[in-house]
Amino acid sequence: MWIHKWERDRRKGVDSPIPTQVVSNEEFIPRPQTGQQRQWERLIGELADQKSRKLGMSRRDYLRSSMGMATAFLAANMVYGPYWDVEAAETTEADAAQEKWPKGEYFIIDVQTHFTDGFALGFRSADFVRDMGFQLKDDADAYSFTNYVKEIFFDSETSLGVISGVPGREIDKSRAGKILEGRDRRGGILPSWLMSRRKNELNALAGCQRTLCQGNCAPNHYWDRTKNAPDFPALYDQMEREVKTYGIDSWKWYCHTDPGRSGNGFRLDDEKMAYPFYERSKQLGLKVFSVHKGYASQSRTLGHMAHPGDVEKAALDHPDLTFIIYHSAMKHGTTEPEFKEPGYFDPETGDFAWHADLMKIKQRNPEMKNVYCEIGSAFGTLAIAHPVMCQHLIGKNIKNYGVDHVLWGTDCLWWGSPQWVIDAFKRFQISDELCDKFGYEKLTQEDKAKIFGLNAARIYGIDVEAERRAFPNDALSKLKTAYLQQGGQRDNTAYGWVRADV
Amino acid sequence: MSQTDRLRSCKAIPALRPVAIKLHVKCIKRAALNLLNAFGVPAMVAIVCAIVFGDDAPERVVKLPAAVDPAAWGGDHVHQPMPQFITGDECLFCHRTNIGTTWPRNRHFLTLRSADPKSPALIALRENPSTREFADQVQFLLGGNHQNRFLRRTPDYGRLEILSASWTPPHGGKAGRLARTDAPHWDDQTFGKSCAGCHASGVDSQTLAFSAISLDCFTCHGDVDLEHSKDGKLAILSPQRRDPPRVVVSICGQCHIRSGTSRSSGRAYPNNFVAGDNLFRDFQVDWSDKHLDRLEPIERHILENVRDVALFEKNDLDCLSCHAVHEQSTEKHQQLAERAICNNCHLPDQPKAKTRPLGGRRIRLCGY
């Protein structure tokens, strides 16, 4: 039998600020709590009882406070190992968490943020989001640019967001041959023209640089069916439009999609398709290529082209270009069935599918400096679903590519405001055991500052100090202050369904 | 058991029908004479139909309403440009979890798939001396349980070549085997002319070029408007929309009716069909009882259901009443109340697991 999580919690006297078991959205059978989850939940209850009594608070009020949140992280460490940075004082002193984790401590550049052109995608009510107990609006407004500004900039500490592309291509001309503009160019759920327009609007509003944007154009988007090859004149026209007219800051490629109906995807190391694009892009002065790798189920027949095996040659052949590998090439997300298949993750080596291949590229080519690992929808999901894999993800990225080559991304607002991911990374740490066994380094505050934003600032040419000076007085900061003063809050509220018999 | 029941149970197995008739010829004669004496010619006709057509023949002959013109409604895209449809990869960006994770195992996807070098078909091709040289050239496999074909891309857009040799997978205790291995060669015509319409998507009937391997979302959902994210009813066959049975059978029938011909192209697959079109404005089908009765059970099952909807406007049942396409589930199938069309495959008054053996004339268009 299924019951509401809150009802089960009430029956069991549980009131955790962090979901301690997978919560269902009614569309799948909730998985029973594991032994560790039960232990975690019991510990939260016991610790909260003790501490709230000492403080003269109700347990419910206590668990809703920053001290309650710290208690949940502390209990998690007691069960899974010390991968959350939390001190006992934070569980009894309300100001301790604020002192230790002050807002604005880091300059955060989120290189993977999205909204849509008014389309509801269903992501915000995805199993994984609900598993974390978040109740997010999932209608078209929730995916709008307005909500993007609220969730990215008002509800989180994100300093600068890169509006990141999704698969889709623009149509350049009408059937009558007329050059199309704006919405007439179509271009999918988040077209290049729209990313550019919103970037310019927001930066103009703010009075400083708060957003960057990407362009969706890719080598197989315009196809000459007679030659069965890229329609280079059309492709170059679109490239020029995106760089010169739209002012994009990076390309966003999905090698495993085919919006131009070319009949295939493309590889980064394809000398006939990708290399001419690189050369043209260099001529246009744009040298940043953000590439989706991993999450292979997003393609009907071309999922294999999301494998990072083509990064090596492309990066070596073009040392003057920057390749940002999104999702760190993690092949399957935590909610995909393949994630739990034997062999996907090897606890002996810490390797998991396709991420390991990305790591080997760097191991083979230690001199290669132009490949970066982005951690959107990889760090956050693993932190909740598989803390050990999460430590391997960050540990290996840093060990192989260097802490200067790991980039912060969240894939939000697909998953609501990114603040929960930011909070998690602030507290995240790699355990002594894994450091000893696999040669990982403990993360320092300096490391986190690089990952959170300094690395991306270097790639995108952002003057962090200038931005820091400008931010407090920009219009966005003033609006945020007003919003918070009026009681504005994130709507990350736990709810959902769990098994009644656990 | 009465004579009639015995006769029915024997007739139910087509292969045994001649034997049944021979064994019971005396009974039939006696019964026919009795009926003729008691009720006259109509009863005599009924029993003859029962012998010739089987259990449900009387229902078809007697009860069907008057036929309508199946081409009378809707439109088509014959001779029109292929729509600039959203490709499946764009669809799966959003539908990654509910569809993307299961689609690689769906038969509609697997109908044409990347060739796995470790598959038994490829291993057999590699081990056979006459076909060995072709094994490394194979890029795709076509087909399922009955027959597999080997394919590769050509330099031209949207074209595949098919190898003359084929593979019959192991079945019923028989080992898998290669066929037509004499003088193996690549054929650059057959796929486009005969196979592309149902094993690829967005086929241009003029050039025979396709725009996507296997079945893209476009095949069943048509040229979907992105606004469907706000209003699911805008996408054909979406759960929020109840498409009329005639639309459903047109969509499924574009490939599963394997005995039709496009009037405009002359090909065995529809000409530029787009989900939502009326398939039968251009796709000619022999609806006659005579044709149906020659088909093997599964083919007959499909065509009979489509005919019920398209010609006789029996709208209580269409393909989706029983078949859950994305889930490949039999749950809906099992939940459905029993009705006459079930007897295309199942035996009346028998356990449901017991189905009719394959029989009748196979359509030789392809191997499924």
**What HEC string does B145-171 produce?**
CCCEEEEEECCCCCCEEEEEEEEECCE
| Inter-chain CB proximity A259 and B217 less than 8 Å | no
> How far apart are the CA of A67 and the nearest CA of chain B, in angstroms?
35
- If asked whether residues A89 and A131 sit together in one domain, one would say no
- If asked whether residues A468 and A343 sit together in one domain, one would say yes
Give me the residues paired with residue A224 across strands.
A229
Spatial contact of A289 and A251, defined as CB atoms under 8 Å apart: yes
A332 in a structural domain: yes
Query: Cα(first)–Cα(last) distance of chain B, in Å?
Result: 38
Q: Low-confidence residues of chain B, pLDDT below 70?
A: 1-65, 328-330, 337, 358-368
Spatial contact of A198 and A211, defined as CB atoms under 8 Å apart: yes
Q: What is the rounded distance in angstroms from the CA atom of residue A168 to the CA atom of residue A130? A: 28
Task: Name, in order, each residue with C-beta under 8 angstroms of B18's C-beta and a sequence gap of 6 or more.
Answer: none
Q: Low-confidence residues of chain A, pLDDT below 50?
A: 1-3, 6, 21-32, 492-502
Does A476 sit behind a cis peptide bond, omega within 30 degrees of 0 on the bond before it?
A: no
Long-range contacts at B333-338 (CB < 8 A, ≥ 24 apart): none
Domain closes at, from A102, A121, A146:
A102
- If asked whether residues A44 and A125 sit together in one domain, one would say no
- If asked whether residues A90 and A118 sit together in one domain, one would say no
Q: What is the pLDDT of residue A499?
A: 40
Q: Which of B96, B151, B223, B227 to mutate to test the interface with A (most CBs of A within 10 A)?
A: B96
Domain closes at, from A49, A82, A102:
A102
- In the DSSP assignment, the letter for residue B96 is I
Interface A:B, Cβ pairs < 8 A? 108
| Inter-chain CB proximity B94 and A299 less than 8 Å | no
Instruction: Please report residues of B whose CB lies closer than 8 A to that of A126.
Output: 97
- If asked whether residues A126 and A84 sit together in one domain, one would say no
A433-456 as b/e: b if 16+ CB within 10 A: ebeeeeebeebeeebbbbbbbbbb
- If asked whether residues A88 and A196 sit together in one domain, one would say no
pLDDT tens digits, one per residue of A12-58: 555 555 555 444 333 334 444 567 767 877 888 889 889 999 999 98
Q: Which of B142, B159, B191, B229 to mutate to test the interface with A (most CBs of A within 10 A)?
A: B229
CA A108 to chain centre: 13
> How far apart are the CA of B135 and the nearest CA of chain A, in angstroms?
21
Q: What three-state secondary structure class fits A55?
A: helix
- If asked whether residues A202 and A280 sit together in one domain, one would say yes
Please, how many CA atoms are within 13 Å of residue A197, restricted to the half-sphere of its CB? 12
Using CB atoms, which residue from A116, A127, A226 is nearest to B97?
Answer: A127
Please, how many CA atoms are within 13 Å of residue B296, restricted to the half-sphere of its CB? 12
Q: Which of B87, B139, B201, B217 to mutate to test the interface with A (most CBs of A within 10 A)?
A: B87
- If asked whether residues A371 and A424 sit together in one domain, one would say yes
Task: Name, in order, each residue with C-beta under 8 angstroms of B307's C-beta and a sequence gap of 6 or more.
Answer: B287, B292
Q: What is the pLDDT of residue B62?
A: 40
> How far apart are the CA of A296 and the nearest CA of chain B, in angstroms?
9
Spatial contact of A390 and A430, defined as CB atoms under 8 Å apart: no
| Inter-chain CB proximity A299 and B158 less than 8 Å | no
- If asked whether residues A247 and A352 sit together in one domain, one would say yes
Using CB atoms, which residue from B93, B113, B227 is nearest to A167?
Answer: B93
Burial class (CB in 10 A: 0-12, 13-18, 19+), A314: buried
Give me the residues paired with residue B346 across strands.
B355
Using CB atoms, which residue from A123, A189, A225 is nearest to B226?
Answer: A189
Spatial contact of A294 and A355, defined as CB atoms under 8 Å apart: yes
Spatial contact of A401 and A371, defined as CB atoms under 8 Å apart: yes
Residue A300: closest C-alpha in chain B? B89
Residue A228: closest C-alpha in chain B? B157
Q: What is the pLDDT of residue A340?
A: 82
Instruction: Please report residues of B whose CB lies closer than 8 A to that of A166.
Output: 93
Nearest to A265 by CA among A298, A232, A313, A233: A298
Nearest to A408 by CA among A438, A428, A389: A428
Domain closes at, from A53, A72, A102:
A102
A494 in a structural domain: no
Using CB atoms, which residue from A119, A225, A338 is nearest to B230?
Answer: A119
| Inter-chain CB proximity B101 and A261 less than 8 Å | no
| Inter-chain CB proximity B100 and A299 less than 8 Å | yes
- If asked whether residues A91 and A130 sit together in one domain, one would say no
- If asked whether residues A91 and A128 sit together in one domain, one would say no
A500 in a structural domain: no
Domain that holds residue A116: 109-481
- Distances B116 to A265, B100, B122, B123, B143 between C-alpha atoms, Å: 18, 20, 7, 10, 14
| Inter-chain CB proximity A123 and B94 less than 8 Å | yes
Q: Which of B80, B95, B97, B153 to mutate to test the interface with A (most CBs of A within 10 A)?
A: B97
CA-CA-CA-CA dihedral for A135, A23, B95, A197, to nearest 10 = 30
Number of residues that this document lists for chain B: 368
Task: Name, in order, each residue with C-beta under 8 angstroms of A310's C-beta and a sequence gap of 6 or more.
Answer: A255, A267, A268, A269, A270
Q: What is the largest CA-CA distance in chain B?
A: 74
Q: What is the rounded distance in angstroms from the CA atom of residue B293 to the CA atom of residue B153? A: 39
Domain tally, chain A: 2
Q: Which of B84, B94, B159 to mutate to test the interface with A (most CBs of A within 10 A)?
A: B94
Nearest to A300 by CA among B48, B217, B158: B217
> How far apart are the CA of A115 and the nearest CA of chain B, in angstroms?
13
Q: What is the pLDDT of residue B222?
A: 95
Nearest to B140 by CA among B210, B92, B222, B91: B210
A501 in a structural domain: no
> How far apart are the CA of A371 and the nearest CA of chain B, in angstroms?
24
| CATH number of the domain residue A265 falls in | 3.20.20.140
- Distances B64 to A311, B53, B304, B311 between C-alpha atoms, Å: 64, 15, 12, 10
> How far apart are the CA of A259 and the nearest CA of chain B, in angstroms?
6
Q: Which of B214, B226, B238, B326 to mutate to test the interface with A (most CBs of A within 10 A)?
A: B226
Instruction: Please report residues of A whose CB lies closer than 8 A to that of B88.
Output: 299-301
Task: Name, in order, each residue with C-beta under 8 angstroms of B111's C-beta and a sequence gap of 6 or more.
Answer: B142, B143, B144, B198, B199, B214, B215
- Distances A447 to A81, A405, A429, B233 between C-alpha atoms, Å: 21, 11, 11, 49
Spatial contact of A354 and A329, defined as CB atoms under 8 Å apart: yes
- If asked whether residues A410 and A358 sit together in one domain, one would say yes
Q: What is the rounded distance in angstroms from the CA atom of residue B78 to the CA atom of residue B272? A: 6
Q: What is the pLDDT of residue B1?
A: 38
CA Rg value for chain B: 23
Instruction: Please report residues of B whose CB lies closer than 8 A to that of A263.
Output: 157-158, 210-213
Spatial contact of A113 and A412, defined as CB atoms under 8 Å apart: yes
Interface of A with B (CB under 8 A): 116-123, 126-127, 139-140, 166-168, 171, 188-189, 223, 225-226, 228, 254, 256-259, 261, 263, 265, 295, 297-304, 335-338
Using CB atoms, which residue from B90, B103, B114 is nearest to A259?
Answer: B90
Spatial contact of B199 and B112, defined as CB atoms under 8 Å apart: yes
| Inter-chain CB proximity B101 and A140 less than 8 Å | no
Residue written as tokens 């199993």?
Answer: A127
